[in-house]
Amino acid sequence: MLQTYLNQLTPPELADSVKNTVDGFMGKLSQTKPKIAQNVLLLGNVQSGKTAQVLGVLSALADDGDHKVFLYLKIYKYNEKDNCIYYFVSSFSMG
């Protein structure tokens, strides 16, 4: 899934950015103790590519075979002071 997703992204720099994020995320995830549920908070500036990044991570998690169910909540509360939006992702291992 990840490679298919990356192939659809334009410009190529966005695909490179998503790949770097995925590699970093998966590396950190591999260093954590396995859990039935894993919660992650992603935050960033408005229009900074958060959705592309999180979809890349979800694609990689789907590819690894350990994560079968994803709950992706987008919180549309804009924090004007910090100029950012918060995302919450939860994945569940079903094994």
pLDDT digits over 30-55, tens only? 888 877 777 777 777 777 888 899 88
**DSSP secondary structure string for all residues of 16-33:** HHHHHHHHHHHHHHHTSP
**Residues 72-94: tens digit of each pLDDT:** 666 555 556 666 655 555 555 54
Phi and psi at residue 77, to the nearest 5°? -85, 115
3-class secondary structure, 15: helix
